[in-house]
Amino acid sequence: MLIYNPKEHIAISFSPRVASTSIRNYARKNGWIEYMPNDIERLKINKAYFIVRDPIERFHSQVQQYIKRWADAKHHEYHIHWHKTLPELKKHINSTFTWYNIDQTHFKKQNDVKNQYPTLDFELIKLESIWRVLPKMSNRDNIANEWILEQCKMFTEEHLEQVKLLYKEDFELYNKAL
């Protein structure tokens, strides 16, 4: 996903679970237009930014979103769905191939999203510094469920080394960002 300011010819891209809903809401309210990767060739882009989130925080958010979506779809309470899904998560966390296939949208690496735009020379911006490129964006829509988030943090701690391997490129990207 990419948002574009046609007046200033600025493009900002980001991946799922990087305040994407908040960024898109801000964009709509402020005259920015949303584009997909195959649309960018027709745009005049003077400056491009890519928003990067701390991979550990993003991992918590990824797993939480996965649990919430499936629990809602199956009309389960979150804690029941968490306990039903946990064995599957533990089984796949050790396999790069199967982990990303659990949820190909939300578990996608930030670096893979960035690479969908090979012609853009992005300046990397940390999510916590988003005010540098969107100064009027004062808040993020927070739809976190505290109980699931706590479970995700414990799951992450238990599998931290594997998370670091799965998202190695994202850690590198984040460390390069301003």
What are the average pLDDT values for consecutive 10-residue runs of the chain, which has 178 residues? 94 93 91 92 95 95 90 90 91 86 89 94 95 80 80 94 95 96
β pairing state of 122-126 and 10-13: unpaired
User: For residues 108 and 100, is the Cβ–Cβ distance under 8 A?
Assistant: yes
Domains of the chain, by residue range, sit at 2-176
Say whether 77 sits in a helix, a strand or coil: coil
pLDDT at 102: 87
Rounded Cα distance, 121 and 47, in Å: 8
β pairing state of 47-52 and 122-126: parallel
Sign of the torsion angle spanned by Cα atoms 135, 21, 169, 118: negative
pTM: 0.91
pLDDT at 142: 66
